[in-house]
């Protein structure tokens, strides 16, 4: 199959590309970038208003499959990913059974074959996610895992986590850490502060995140190995990570759009769709996250896509934490950071396409001749409203419901195939 995309504003920081060009691909490979005078099986005219990024990659999603397919499954989750412009996702291992052996990895990869995009499994750090014994890293690597994490909870045994961080590099893994001390949280359900006091509910002290962030950095520093801090939400964690990077510690980190968009004031509605872990914080934290994205302290934007059913989210006090985000991530980043003049489109490409692959050691995707044709095409000025019932995800628990957005994915192209078209 041949594909020709004409008059598209192509932005790829890896290739130093920021220009209106034509892109021609054959059999999933980009053959020419520039002026193309040829025919193709499919022609898309960007009319100089569509922007092309290297295919977006979300390195932190929960597809809930196997075991929780009433919330989401690999097919519905990747449908949501495609609608959000993602040509690849990495899925977290807190499924049922958890991803701590070859059989579960095989299941995920087999089911993902028909999705049209790339699904990369993340394996567990500890067997059964019980913080008692390390998994067989060699088995997980051979099966196809690209990283390890006990996401959804921290590895409670610090020495075991130190061993994992030290050992992970031998297998090309990065350890992804969920930084929340469960003893400090102690049953809290939202950020500890004025809002939790007004609602008379138990809060999560920010020390739960800051403490484990500092612990992981100390462990990585002790063995001169890499560690990645998941879903950063506090000013304290930002400052700890910034200082560690300045000292040469091999630490990277991520955040999600809700942390630079909203504060815990949203919880005053007692709507559990605004509950996630870690929680929405104060405006001081929100601003710290925003500034850390701008100054490069935060390396990538992820969604932590975490589907739950309407019934599960019905009661504020007892609902599980988590929100869906694959279909709103690019749109909200454009709305909150690009259209406000805070970051450039090239910076967004780094945060959502280039850096996640780099952190996980996955082959880069470029808009250049000879590269795999994975592209996200979007209209920066397309205005739309997030309607939960129109989302492709099986669950509709979006924190951005009824938000007015500016920026929309029009085409998602993976391996030269159009896998989503608005």
Residue positions annotated with a catalytic role: 304
What are the phi and psi torsion angles at 153 (to 5°)?
Answer: -160, 155
- CB-CB neighbours of 362 under 10 Å: 17
**Alpha-carbon distance 331 to 334, whole Å?**
5
Lookup: tokens for 81: 């990913």
Give which of 203, 196, 202, 264 is closest to 233, Cα–Cα: 264
Lookup: tokens for 12: 């790829």
- CB-CB neighbours of 84 under 10 Å: 28
Locate tokens 């000025």: which residue?
381
Return all residues near 397 (Cβ < 8 A) that are at least 6 apart. Answer: 272, 273, 307, 308, 310, 313, 322, 323, 324, 388
Cis before 278? omega within 30: yes
Do residues 258 and 323 lie in contact, with contact meaning Cβ atoms separated by under 8 Å?
Answer: yes
**Alpha-carbon distance 221 to 213, whole Å?**
12
- CB-CB neighbours of 331 under 10 Å: 24
**Alpha-carbon distance 400 to 277, whole Å?**
16
**Alpha-carbon distance 285 to 263, whole Å?**
8
**Alpha-carbon distance 24 to 351, whole Å?**
25
Give which of 256, 295, 330 is closest to 52, Cα–Cα: 330
Give which of 116, 107, 108, 285 is closest to 190, Cα–Cα: 285
């Amino acid at each position: 199959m041949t594909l020709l995309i004409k008059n598209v504003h192509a932005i790829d920081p890896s290739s130093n590309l920021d220009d209106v060009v034509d892109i021609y691909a054959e059999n999933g490979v980009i053959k020419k970038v520039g002026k193309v005078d040829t025919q193709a099986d499919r022609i898309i005219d960007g009319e100089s208003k569509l922007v092309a990024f290297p295919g977006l990659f979300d390195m932190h999603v929960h597809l809930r499959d196997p075991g929780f397919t009433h919330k989401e499954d690999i097919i519905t989750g990747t449908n949501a990913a495609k609608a959000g412009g993602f040509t690849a996702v990495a899925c977290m291992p807190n499924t049922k059974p958890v991803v701590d052996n070859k059989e579960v990895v095989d299941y995920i990869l087999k089911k993902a074959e028909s999705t049209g995009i790339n699904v990369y499994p993340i394996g567990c750090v500890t067997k059964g996610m019980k913080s008692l014994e390390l998994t067989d890293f060699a088995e997980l690597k051979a099966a196809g895992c690209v990283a390890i994490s006990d996401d959804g909870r921290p590895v409670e045994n610090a020495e075991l986590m130190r061993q994992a961080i030290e050992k992970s590099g031998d297998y090309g893994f990065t350890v992804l850490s969920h930084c929340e001390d469960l003893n400090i949280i102690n049953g809290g359900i939202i950020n500890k502060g004025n809002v939790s006091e007004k609602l008379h509910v138990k809060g999560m002290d920010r020390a739960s995140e800051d403490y484990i962030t500092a612990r992981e950095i100390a462990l990585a520093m002790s063995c001169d190995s890499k560690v990645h801090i998941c879903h950063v939400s506090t000013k304290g964690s930002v400052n700890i990570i910034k200082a560690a990077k300045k000292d040469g510690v091999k630490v990277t980190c991520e955040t999600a759009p809700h942390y630079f968009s909203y504060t815990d004031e949203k919880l005053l509605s007692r709507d559990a769709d605004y509950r996630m872990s870690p929680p929405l914080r104060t405006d001081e934290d929100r601003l710290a996250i925003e500034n850390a994205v701008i100054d490069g302290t935060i390396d990538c934007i992820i969604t932590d896509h975490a589907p739950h059913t309407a019934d599960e989210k019905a009661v504020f006090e007892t609902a599980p934490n988590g929100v869906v985000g694959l279909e709103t991530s690019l749109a909200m980043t454009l709305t909150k950071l690009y259209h406000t003049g805070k970051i450039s489109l090239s910076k967004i490409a780094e945060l959502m396409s280039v850096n996640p692959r780099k952190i996980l050691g996955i082959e880069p995707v470029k808009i250049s001749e000879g590269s795999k044709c994975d592209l996200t095409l979007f209209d920066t000025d397309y205005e739309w409203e997030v309607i939960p019932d129109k989302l492709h995800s099986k669950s509709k628990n979006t924190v951005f419901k009824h938000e007015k957005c500016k920026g929309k994915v029009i085409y998602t192209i993976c391996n030269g195939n159009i896998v989503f078209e608005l």
